[in-house]
Structure 1
Amino acid sequence: MQVAGATVIITGAASGFGKALAQRLFKKGANLLLTDISPVQFEPGDMISAGSNRFVSVRANVCNADEMRHAFQRALSEFGRIDIVVNNAGIAETLPFTKPDEASRWKQVIDVDLSAVVLGTKLALMHLLDRQQPGIIINVASLAGLYPQFFQPVYAAAKGGVVHFTRSLAPYNDEGIRVVALCPSFSPTPLLSQVGPDGRESQLKPEGLVPIELVIDAFIVIIENDKVKGGSCVRVTPQFGIDLYGIKGRSKL
């Protein structure tokens, strides 16, 4: 799909992958509806485009169906269509699994990292099918969705759910809708700072991180390369770069 002129909804757009993706897509000519539970703010000069495209931001809790429906309606009222939805918002576990957790952080991880992805995907599919138009839905999973993560077991469970949920939507290829899971290794985003010190020190060494810009490159590959079919998992790792990861192994993109 061509980025220029497309309308894109990005959740979790206030920081990390969401913010960096917004900047890249805006420069390529996309119209953007950016959502986050925190204010979406940019420095002067961050959002530069030579075209007439625009971006708007809406505060929305990705776990709140009414707020997310409002965000979709706002995109339609501003731009007249929705072409791409990126379910990017995510949080990590902040304590070892067996530590007391009065705030039930593990339940929040499931809600934000899995349930909200299901909600965003459902809203996107309903919109695209109702209008009989092609589209792309990118569900941000993680390498943790492909391999065990002993210091983030609930996060891994949620991201594994995103992977299998996305793979299960492959039949929508027949409707011209590609639902793809993006599975990057950990990257130096604010989410990394949420991981408890045991996990950061023992597992998340600098040589194991992928640059944010490489992950944004992977988003662009998914959008622009029609060979990335719905149900695919696009992996991003320091060892292999950007590749397709499946049951039968990997293939280079």
Structure 2
Amino acid sequence: MAAEKQEAFSSLQDRISALERSSWNVGGVTPSSAGNNDADANASTIIITPAMTRARRHTQTSHCFSAIWRHCPSDYYSRSLDERVKILGANNVSQLCKACLFENKNYVCGAGAGAGEGEGKGGDDDKDKVDPTNSRYYLIVVQYIESITAKKLASELRGLRPPGSTRFSPTYFSDLRLAPADESVKLTGYGHNGVSPFGMLDSTIPIVLCASITKIRPQFIWMGGGHPDWKLGVSVSEFIEGLNAIVLDVSEPRANTLETEEISSA
């Protein structure tokens, strides 16, 4: 009897897993599997991780009904941008984006007028006080064909506060850097090449969308889906509204789209 119960339980688990995978468009020939042996693999071998589930649930609660998930080949990041467009079923390379976590090394917890003359560290006791104009971390979504510019980023973040006594000094955002990999994993819950703006562990981190993204056509972008082999596509309008994203002009066109540099000081 015990063996029969165990077999029935295992069968039920398999059916639940199969149902979950089918809801992610896993299996069969999809836009992500054209000409790709990895994507044509047996759907039962693909595992839906808790991080991916967390990201997907956030798209649902954020009313991002346009969200689409694509399973990509393991060598996705060694392929050209044009090849990635075909894998995702996108329209053009301008729709391909990535999410980068930046840290303000000059951050001062609860800073106000006159802040920025020295460096400081924020404390965990202030974590629940969300102030997008003064955050230690910012998650920035940028196109692969664009490069985040340090001067623009500093200027735009400073401009989130109106002119006057509450605006930070010009030096307050002068030391913005990519957060260390381990810190990014700790705060977002996602590893390299899998960072998604949806379902981050620290939900207080402001989301910044590069203004250039609002000019692409069609208004649909692709980004990390919580795992290196999964990508998430969503309409720009739903992304902005669902995540309360801040649209800022913080990037410039890359001279070479194959560059690996994430930020420039020019």
* Superposition TM-score tier, normalisation by shorter sequence: under 0.3
Larger Rg: 2
